[in-house]
Amino acid sequence: MARITGQLDHYVKLRDTIRNAAGETLDLKPYEADMRHLIDTYIEADEPRKISPFDKLGLLDLIVKTGIADAIVSRLGGLKGNHDAIAETIENNVRKKIVKEQITDPAFYERMSSLLNEVIADRKAKAIAYEEYLQRIADIVKKVDAGKSEDTPSRLDSPGNRAVFNVLKDVDQDSDSADVEGFVDLVMAIDATVKRVPTRL
């Protein structure tokens, strides 16, 4: 009985590890309101006790909220310190997020994809220590999750004008700080024009 219980525990953890690596964990957030309505309407029970504030977060969200070390312990503990498997799991999740969001800001997510490729290449070539790898991949995760870099001008307050700004920056990669302010002015003018002029289909 102990042997069968041990095998069951092993394969349940293996299933969860594969789901995490493939980014196929089920997101129940869209169903929470309906589920809560059903529970409140048809089930009488004591108020639920919150065990963890992060139990419904995806791997990338967890990295942003708690830090990469805690996220690895919480979600990838079943990999038992297998650095390559942990790295590939995180990379697969980052890649999936980039592919999903790329249509909203192609220039920005293309840069994130290039940064990810560089980090992966350095890891596979063992050109960087594991700790440095974790630091760099966590930085990429934060940028991908935020949808912008830390140096994005604060005046760019919507995904649309940030996308236009990133395209302009890609066109002229040698721009200095004065050019950046000029780009921001141009982006705000484009944004105002697009909002003012009705679209004809």
Number of domains in the chain: 1
Would you say the pTM of this structure is higher than 0.75?
A: no
pLDDT of residue 52: 44
User: Quick check: helix, strand or coil at residue 158?
Assistant: coil
Residue 46 lies in a domain: yes
Domain that holds residue 84: 2-150
The answer to whether the CB of 67 falls within 8 A of the CB of 113 is no
177 falls within a domain: no
Distance (Å, whole) CA 112 – CA 146: 12
> Does some domain include residue 179?
no
Q: Is 25 exposed, middle or buried (0-12, 13-18, 19+ CB in 10 A)?
A: middle
C-alpha 194/C-alpha 49 separation (Å) is 48
Tens of pLDDT, residues 48-73? 554 444 455 677 777 877 788 877 77
Residue 9 has pLDDT above 50, yes or no: yes
What is the reported pLDDT for 118? 94
pLDDT at 57: 62
Q: Where are the alpha helices (DSSP H) in the chain?
A: 2-22, 32-42, 59-66, 68-75, 83-101, 106-124, 130-146, 159-171, 177-196
pLDDT of residue 180: 76
**What pLDDT was estimated at residue 35?**
78
- 91 lies in some domain: yes
Please say whether the beta carbons of 78 and 17 come within 8 A. yes
- Does 195 or 201 have the greater pLDDT score? 195
Residue 97 domain flag: yes
Report the pLDDT value the prediction gives residue 151, as an integer from 0 to 100: 78
What are all long-range contacts of 113-120, with beta carbons under 8 Å and residues at least 24 apart? 115/140, 116/91, 116/140, 120/91
DSSP SS3 for 1: coil
Q: Is residue 121 scored above 90 in pLDDT?
A: yes
Residue 183 maps to a domain: no
Domain for residue 27, yes or no? yes
Interhelix angle 159-171/177-196, nearest 10 degrees: 130
When mean pLDDT is compared across 82-86, 176-180, 192-196, the lowest value belongs to 176-180
Residue 19 inside a domain? The answer is yes
pLDDT (average), residues 120-127:
90
